[in-house]
């Protein structure tokens, strides 16, 4: 019954309210909520896994495209991107907000997508590495600069580095090499490509990249 599950902003879905004592409690106190979700996960699992129709749905605008997806409530944004939407460009490194590999832009701000619950991102605009090239495949200037200046080796941290690098310039914190290094300190690179990452960002800042 897919129509039943279409999200209605500001309205709790009856399906969830009737399945769970917790949710019934939430309804009883009359919350005006963006999302109300509660479910007995164990019950769903006993029936052979968490049923898709038991899951809350969220709406994200990912790289300009509206997506509606069902997520287990403890799912993080990076898991929703990778596992639910199949967009594996965003990487999971430490999974604890310490390495920056999972960096995406959420409503224009760089964030560790491993520490954002997907439910918390409901209604948000997400930009990932997949969304940087233009529709015919021309790379974003920052992608070109990373390539031209050899700003990576293994490449695993690179999607996060590039999203942070774009935010660095957008927010006006690329004034000097020292300022760039400070701004970029939340993105670790085990290959230690740091000097070339700084050079790439300076090149984009100065407009000397063929995008």
Q: Which residues bind another protein (CB under 8 A)?
A: 20, 22-23, 25-26, 28-42, 45, 56, 73-74, 76, 95-97, 100, 103, 106, 109-112, 114-117, 119-120, 122, 164, 167-168, 171, 181-187
Please identify, using beta-carbon distances, which residue of 4 and 46 lies nearer to another protein.
Answer: 46
Query: Smallest distance, Å, CB 27 to another protein?
Result: 11
Query: Smallest distance, Å, CB 56 to another protein?
Result: 8
Q: d(Cα 11, Cα 79) in Å, to the nearest integer?
A: 25
60 with 82: CB under 8 angstroms?
A: no
Q: d(Cα 54, Cα 37) in Å, to the nearest integer?
A: 10
Query: Smallest distance, Å, CB 105 to another protein?
Result: 9
Query: Smallest distance, Å, CB 2 to another protein?
Result: 22
Please identify, using beta-carbon distances, which residue of 51 and 208 lies nearer to another protein.
Answer: 51
Q: d(Cα 81, Cα 85) in Å, to the nearest integer?
A: 5
Please identify, using beta-carbon distances, which residue of 6 and 170 lies nearer to another protein.
Answer: 170
Please identify, using beta-carbon distances, which residue of 69 and 117 lies nearer to another protein.
Answer: 117
For residue 118, give the nearest of 67, 166, 48 by alpha carbon: 67
Please identify, using beta-carbon distances, which residue of 26 and 200 lies nearer to another protein.
Answer: 26
20 with 40: CB under 8 angstroms?
A: yes
Output the DSSP codes for 61-109. Answer: EETTEEEEEE--TT-BHHHIIIIIS--TTSPPSSSSSSS-TTEEEETTE
For residue 119, give the nearest of 164, 32, 65, 55 by alpha carbon: 55
């Amino acid at each position: 019954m897919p129509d039943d599950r279409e999200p209605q902003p500001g309205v709790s879905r009856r399906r969830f309210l009737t399945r769970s004592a917790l949710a019934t409690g939430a309804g009883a106190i009359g919350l005006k909520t963006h999302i109300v979700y509660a479910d007995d996960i164990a019950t769903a699992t006993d029936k052979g896994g968490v049923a898709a129709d038991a899951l809350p749905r969220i709406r994200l605008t990912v790289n300009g495209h509206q997506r509606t997806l069902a997520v287990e409530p403890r799912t993080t944004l990076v898991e929703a991107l990778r596992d639910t939407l199949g967009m594996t460009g965003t990487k999971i490194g430490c999974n604890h907000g310490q390495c920056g590999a999972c960096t995406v832009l959420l409503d224009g701000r760089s964030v560790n997508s491993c520490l954002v619950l997907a439910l918390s991102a409901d209604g948000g605009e997400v930009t990932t590495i997949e969304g940087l090239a233009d529709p015919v495949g021309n790379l974003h200037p920052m992608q070109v600069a990373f390539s031209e200046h050899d700003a990576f080796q293994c490449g695993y941290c690179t999607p996060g580095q590039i999203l942070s690098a774009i935010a660095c310039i957008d927010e006006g914190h690329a004034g000097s090499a020292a300022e760039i290094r400070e701004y970029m300190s939340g993105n670790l690179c085990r290959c230690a490509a740091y000097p070339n990452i700084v050079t790439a960002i300076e090149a984009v800042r100065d407009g000397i990249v063929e995008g």
